[in-house]
Amino acid sequence: MKIAIAGDHAGFELKEVLAKALTAAGHDVQNLGTHDGSQPSDYPDFALSVGEAVSRGDVTRGILVCGSGVGVSVAANKIPGVRAALCHDTYSAHQGVEHDDMNVLCLGARIIGESLAKELVAAFVGASFSTEERHARRLGKVRSIEERYTAGRDR
């Protein structure tokens, strides 16, 4: 799977660990930064780079890491076509894909450790959107909301 990953200075170390684990698992990983965890950086910049890669279809999924995971989640969800969620349990990480077609996983480096983060990423990339009618119907409603508020705007 082609995956974009990024994080701010607070998420740098965990992002690097996850990028290596994903590459070792055979995924095509695009590391979109930060590339220097010693310098302060702003999470919206990284949410934008991953979100745009997902929205354009350059990658199948995205992973964002900041201190809490909240900031990157909020910022990424502003991008049309992005369905980002903060997950700190494996059920949500796979169920978000299966039921809601989540395409960006957000993690809080100050909240979870490496082992759990690796489990969450494995659950996220291992899941597929369900074709059940109820999930497709609900996703259609989500897309309608997005279209309502983005109509006439440039992507």
Q: CB-based contacts of 50: which residues, under 8 Å, 6+ apart?
A: 4, 5, 6, 32, 62, 63, 64, 76, 104
Query: Would you state the pLDDT for residue 139?
Result: 96
pLDDT along the chain (155 residues), means of 10: 98 98 98 96 98 98 98 98 98 98 98 98 98 95 94 68
Query: Would you state the pLDDT for residue 151?
Result: 84
pTM: 0.96
Domains in the chain: ranges and CATH: 2-150 (3.40.1400.10)
Query: Would you state the pLDDT for residue 154?
Result: 61
Which residues are part of the catalytic machinery?
66, 99
